Amino acid sequence: ASATPDDLTDKLWGMHNTGQNGGKVDADIDAPEAWAIHSGRKDAPVIAVIDTGVDYNHPDLKANMWVNKGEIPGNGIDDDGNGVVDDVHGFNAFANSGNPMDGHSHGTHCAGTIAGVGNNGQGVTGVMQEAQIMAVKIFADSGSTNAAAIIRGINYATQMGARITSNSWGGGAANQGIFDAFNSSPALHIMAAGNSSGNNDTRPHYPSNYELPNNVAVAASDRNDNKASFSCYGEKSVDIAAPGRDIYSTVNGGGYASKSGTSMATPHVAGVAGLVASAFPDA
Ligand code: CA
Ligand code: CA
């Protein structure tokens, strides 16, 4: 870990914007300034990435994956009795299995922004250079899901002690069961505001519009500190904006790619929340 990690590439304008590629100097989250104080730790509070899964074998993520110490890998037994067999790095809530491998790339991208392994001489650094990422897969690799899978995923994160959840997903009508799952969790829930460029005050977007004491709705900004054109917004319903256009991060299969969306802004906020929780565990 370092205040100036060797993998803070020019592509990571959201972490540190020096005006590269026509951006605005300091339109970023001030990551180096934070890292001078704290850059994470291997036993940091657990962050659940509730998404399409995570490539837990990615060389820039593997060391920062949460490990369920109560589970013996690959023995076909639910050793810790939590209802899921061989859930070593998280839960596949869609398929009801212990394997949350990402076959899509979206969740792996989000995980890399939160906690790509920092200062390891390759790829990217996350907002947290050291962390514990729990993979909670609520989508099939095709991107489809259902309320029951989403609820199972949220409840697993709660049961297994996630302090923060990162939710780069949304759409559809409000759902009482999903609301209840979030509401019964003591974690801080970071939620994407959506990409339809609408005003969420007048056209609610879920889950980010749920009236909860412990959620944060995130819009997307660009490298010039403007709202990204696609980003939803809302004076009452959206809490904060974070970098979400042309975000470079990990993808499944050990690779890297740039993506845009409030999906990419959300993990910047989850990472910052994780740094705070790591530096100040009693907060
Ligand atoms: Ca288990
Ligand atoms: Ca790295």
Q: Which ligand is nearest to the CA of 80?
A: 1
Q: Which ligand is nearest to the CA of 121?
A: 2
- Ligand 2 centroid, distance to 186 Cα (angstroms): 31
Residues by chain with Cβ below 5 Å of ion ligand 1: 71, 78, 80, 82, 84, 87
- Check residue 283 and give its pLDDT: 84
For the annotated catalytic residues, the residue numbers are 51, 106, 263
- Check residue 1 and give its pLDDT: 63
Looking at the DSSP assignment, which residues form a beta bridge with residue 240? Answer: 218
pLDDT (tens digit per residue) in 99-143? 999 999 999 999 999 999 999 999 999 999 999 999 999 999 999
pLDDT (tens digit per residue) in 258-279? 999 999 999 999 999 999 999 9
Nearest CA among 214, 205, 268, 189 for reference residue 238: 205
- Ligand 1 centroid, distance to 206 Cα (angstroms): 30
Cβ burial, residue 194 (10 Å; 0-12/13-18/19+): buried
Q: Please give the model's pTM, rounded to 2 decimal places.
A: 0.98
- Ligand 1 centroid, distance to 161 Cα (angstroms): 14
pLDDT (tens digit per residue) in 226-248? 999 999 999 999 999 999 999 99
Average pLDDT for 17-29: 98
Share of the chain above pLDDT 90, in %: 98
- Ligand 1 centroid, distance to 256 Cα (angstroms): 31
Average pLDDT for 177-202: 98
- Ligand 2 centroid, distance to 277 Cα (angstroms): 22
- Check residue 2 and give its pLDDT: 80
- Check residue 199 and give its pLDDT: 98
Q: Across all residues in the chain, what is the average pLDDT? A: 97
- Ligand 1 centroid, distance to 158 Cα (angstroms): 14
